[in-house]
Structure 1
Amino acid sequence: MFTIEHDFDATVVTLVDEPSSHRQEDVTITAFEDCVTIEQLDPRTDRIDKITLSLSQLADLTAALNLPEGVYRRTTDKT
């Protein structure tokens, strides 16, 4: 399950892990104009872990999800 909210300066997507024996904490993804942040509560420390991706890193991740194992460099079409 997930939710989508549009704030003034960002779009926030929250991923909720469905109930199971190994349920993970919710993940919050916030898309800003220049970066994307991913946050998740660490229940061992009771702190939020946060990762910030540039838009270029996000594009690399998106491409990587559909590729086989290997090393790649994304090219941009400048036509």
Structure 2
Amino acid sequence: MFTIEHDFDATVITLVDEGSPNLQEDVIIHAFAECVTIEQYDPRRDEVCKIEMSMSQLRDLAAALNLPEGVYRLKRRDED
């Protein structure tokens, strides 16, 4: 299950783990114009862990989900 909310400066997506006996904490994604942050609560450390990705890293991740093993460099629009 997931939710999508549109805030003033970001789109917030929350991914809820369902169906597994070993459920993980919710993952919260904040999509800003210049970057994306990913947060998840870590109960062992009792804190929220946060990762910030550039839009370029996010595009690479999206492409990588659909590619076989290997090393790749995506052609950027400004390289045309």
Bin for the TM-score computed over the shorter chain = over 0.9
Q: Tell me if 1:20 matches 2:20.
A: yes
Unaligned runs of 5+ in 2: none
68-77 vs 6-15, which deviates more?
Answer: 68-77
SS of 1:40's partner is strand
Displacement of 1:76 in angstroms is 2.0
- Tell me which residue corresponds to 1:52: 52
CA distance in 1 between counterparts of 2:8 and 2:70 reads: 39
CA distance in 1 between counterparts of 2:66 and 2:20 reads: 27
Alpha-carbon RMSD: 1.1
Displacement of 1:19 in angstroms is 4.4
SS of 1:60's partner is helix
Q: Give TM-score, length-normalised by structure 1.
A: 0.95
* Count of residue correspondences: 79
Q: Give TM-score, length-normalised by structure 2.
A: 0.93
CA distance in 1 between counterparts of 2:76 and 2:11 reads: 25
Quote the sequence identity (%): 68
After TM superposition, the runs of 4+ consecutive aligned structure 1 residues lying more than 6 A away are none
- For 1:22-72, what per-residue CA distance to the aligned partner results, in whole angstroms no more than 9, with x for missing partners? 000000000001000000000101100000000000000000000000000
